[in-house]
Amino acid sequence: MKYCKDFIVVKNETITPTLYILRLQYPETLPEIKPGQFVEILVEGEKDVFLRRPISIHDVDKENNQIALLVQVVGKGTSQLSKLKEGDKLNLIFPLGNGFTVMGKRVLLVGGGCGAAPLLYLLRVLKQQNIKSDILIGCKDINHLFSKKEYQELSNLHVTTEDGSFGEKGFVTAHPILNEDFDVIYCCGPTPMMKAISQYAKQRNIPCYVSLEHKMACGIGVCLCCVAETNQGNKRTCVTGPIFLTSDLKDF
Amino acid sequence: MNTSKQLEVQIKDMVLKNPVMTASGTFGYGYDFEDFINLDSLGGIVVKATTIKERMGNPYPRMAETPSGMLNTVGLQNKGVDYFCDNIYQKIKDKNTNVVVNVSGSTLEEYVEVASKINTLENIPAIELNVSCPNVKEGGMAFGTNKDMTFKVVSAVRKAYDKTLIVKLSPNVTNIVEIAKAAEDAGADSLSMINTLLGMAVDSEKRQPLLSTITGGLSGAAVKPVALRCVWQVAKQTKLPIIGIGGIMNAQDAIEFILVGATAIEVGTANFINPSITEEIVKGMEDYLQRHNIKHISEIRGVI
Ligand SMILES: Cc1cc2nc3c(=O)[nH]c(=O)nc-3n(C[C@H](O)[C@H](O)[C@H](O)COP(=O)(O)OP(=O)(O)OC[C@H]3O[C@@H](n4cnc5c(N)ncnc54)[C@H](O)[C@@H]3O)c2cc1C
Ligand code: FES
């Protein structure tokens, strides 16, 4: 079941001048949400934004019926979202997409930049199911590392920064944690990073899930604009995805 | 819901409880919207374009947002008419609304073949002949931008299809009235207009087009003035009932189309922004009639 409802902004936290975490209150009991699912946001007050904007669900607080979204400002829609204040209303269609398949005994999560958004809620669910996890985050510098405390509480956090200001200096693909054994890899981030991790997973014969951020018009499966090329033909990223097993994707 | 029939309209033999329908390609097969609205509250739904064989559609990227609108180049991706008849039809045939199938093809024979197959489905009261898709290499718009081709394809389908035949027209022509008349002469029962306007979008930083096929079809609020003009011109010069399409975002927009001569309307891109917009438009049209003390929607049809 999908819903189209108003949320209320409880908090808009600035991480960097282009990165925000929006905490939103749902006025009713939240429906079941799977990690990796996303919402379609109606951006109001910006006449140049015509369509909704898809954003991953960063975190879910079931007890308080709140969700968190991580927004990176890249254009007019996300810029408008970054200006939201406590008490503002936000209309969302949710929850959308397939979500991650939670499996394995020991798993690795790899996230890059703001693309790592869906991994926090995934960690929560993994923990609930007693699945051991490691999370490897690649970011520009220490200032761009968000939700660090939560990652540390829920998992073993490993970090690479481009400038070495935290963790290892360099890219995620060179981190020693990759030498350990995992049953599954979940990877979200820039496409080149996801491709590199997918390549690594393929060599080691580990199933690898990625989240694709294709351009969407409807987000609910009716326009067919968001397709990804899979071994079974063109599939809608907003319904069959956004989470795909890389061995199913033509491009990976 | 209102039961006074003040919004009831008729397109040949197809009776619509209200003029609000959905545009092909923006509403899936209807059931995707059941979380948001009651399909039975709509006059009709037009399901995705159906072709004789399965089509993969065009490569990604297929969409670009533009001022007050969007461009798409989906390219008629669908599983083919047999899959529709064997699988999808079962799921939608008992809805208490008119389910119209949008029929497309690359050749005249393909249009006829699809139409004949749909003709056997008892609960499909009408087809919408898509002679105006701008996103396929063969067929599609090529039929709907030439009056002789329009006449030929509509005549051929007319022979194979005996229920309500709607022809969907392209705005990408010099003289839409000429094409409309060709469809009328060939035996169409109704005309729906407009399909998307051919357009393009460019990324100046990357110095690249934004769509995989370079050009695509423009829809959304931006196209409403063009659509109103087309409906108005054609309504004045043909006798056929017209279904107005193009940039309808709310009830006022829908009423504007009725005022220039449309009998019914189709809501397209607006479904992406507000998935319950169709029900809201029905309600808004009822309110309009009440506010202006109008007994039946037909009283204001074509007054401009
Ligand atoms: C399933 C899914 C989940 C997503 N999750 C998140 C998230 O958690 N946090 C987040 O900040 N963003 C996320 N995105 C990306 C986000 O939707 C886009 O950044 C946003 O739509 C851009 O809107 P805008 O109006 O700010 O940019 P626009 O003004 O429309 O465009 C500005 C620039 O952004 C680029 N852009 C536009 N849409 C996308 C897109 N879908 N993906 C990548 N680049 C785009 C454009 O090419 C352009 O260069 C997600 C996208 C998808 C499909
Ligand atoms: S965005 Fe419309 S089908 Fe995926």
Q: Is position B95 within any domain?
A: yes
**To test ligand 2's pocket by mutation, which of A37, A55, A224, A243 has the most ligand atoms within 8 angstroms of CB?**
A224
Domain of B129 in residue numbering reads as 9-57+73-197+218-300
Q: Does B34 touch chain A (CB under 8 A)?
A: no
Going from the Cα of A105 to the center of ligand 2, the distance in angstroms, rounded, reads 34
Identity (one letter) of the amino acid at A133? S
Q: Is position B212 within any domain?
A: no
Question: Using one digit for the tens of pLDDT, what is the confidence trace for B77-105?
Answer: 999 999 999 999 999 999 999 999 999 99
**With contact defined as beta carbons under 8 Å apart, do A65 and A28 qualify?**
yes
Q: How confident is the model at residue B135 (pLDDT cuts 50, 70, 90)?
A: confident
The reply to whether domains A3-96 and A106-211 share a CATH topology is no
**Which residues lie closer than 8 Å to B201 by C-beta, 6 or more apart?**
B64, B66, B71, B209, B210, B211, B216
pLDDT at B142: 80
The answer to whether residue B44 scores a pLDDT higher than 60 is yes
Locate the domains of chain A by residue range.
Answer: 3-96, 106-211
Q: Is position B259 within any domain?
A: yes
Q: Is position B65 within any domain?
A: no
Tokens at B201, concatenated: 């979008």
The answer to whether residue B2 scores a pLDDT higher than 60 is no
Question: Using one digit for the tens of pLDDT, what is the confidence trace for A108-120?
Answer: 999 998 999 999 9
- Residue B271: its H or E element: helix B270-273
Q: Is position B182 within any domain?
A: yes
Q: Is position B207 within any domain?
A: no
- d(C-alpha A75, C-alpha A85), whole Å: 19
Q: How confident is the model at residue B132 (pLDDT cuts 50, 70, 90)?
A: confident
- Per-chain mean pLDDT for chain B: 96
CB contact (8 A) between residue B35 and residue A214: no
Specify the CATH class of A3-96 in words: mainly beta
Closest-approach residue (CA) in chain A for B28: A222
A50 vs B27, B32, B65: nearest CB: B65
Which residue, A32, A31, A11, is CA-closest to A22?
A11
Ligand found nearest the CA of A189: 1
**Looking at beta carbons, which residues of chain A come within 8 Å of B25?**
222-224
Token pair 């809620």 is found at: A121
Q: Is position B28 within any domain?
A: yes
The answer to whether residue B138 scores a pLDDT higher than 80 is no
CATH number at B254 reads 3.20.20.70
Which residue, A42, A39, A102, is CA-closest to A67?
A39
Q: Is position B33 within any domain?
A: yes
The answer to whether residue B136 scores a pLDDT higher than 80 is no
| Dihedral angle sign, alpha carbons of residues B19, B249, B41, B102 | positive
Residue A176 CB: number of other CB atoms within 10 A? 9
Question: Using one digit for the tens of pLDDT, what is the confidence trace for B103-127?
Answer: 999 999 999 999 999 999 999 999 9
Tokens at A13, concatenated: 């936290």
CB contact (8 A) between residue B274 and residue A226: no
Going from the Cα of A49 to the center of ligand 1, the distance in angstroms, rounded, reads 12
Specify the CATH class of A106-211 in words: alpha beta
Structural domain tally of chain B? 1
- d(C-alpha B25, C-alpha B55), whole Å: 14
Q: What is the mean pLDDT of each run of 10 residues along chain A (252 residues)?
A: 98 96 98 98 95 98 98 97 98 98 97 94 97 97 93 97 94 95 97 96 97 97 97 96 97 88
Q: How many helices (H) and strands (E) does chain A have?
A: 4, 16
Q: What are phi and psi of A56, to 5 degrees?
A: -70, 155
Q: Which of A232, A234, A235, A240 to mutate to test the interface with B (most CBs of B within 10 A)?
A: A234
**With contact defined as beta carbons under 8 Å apart, do B129 and B161 qualify?**
no
Closest-approach residue (CA) in chain A for B76: A224
The minimum-distance atom of ligand 1 relative to the CA of B65 is 30
Residue B207 CB: number of other CB atoms within 10 A? 7
pLDDT at B3: 57
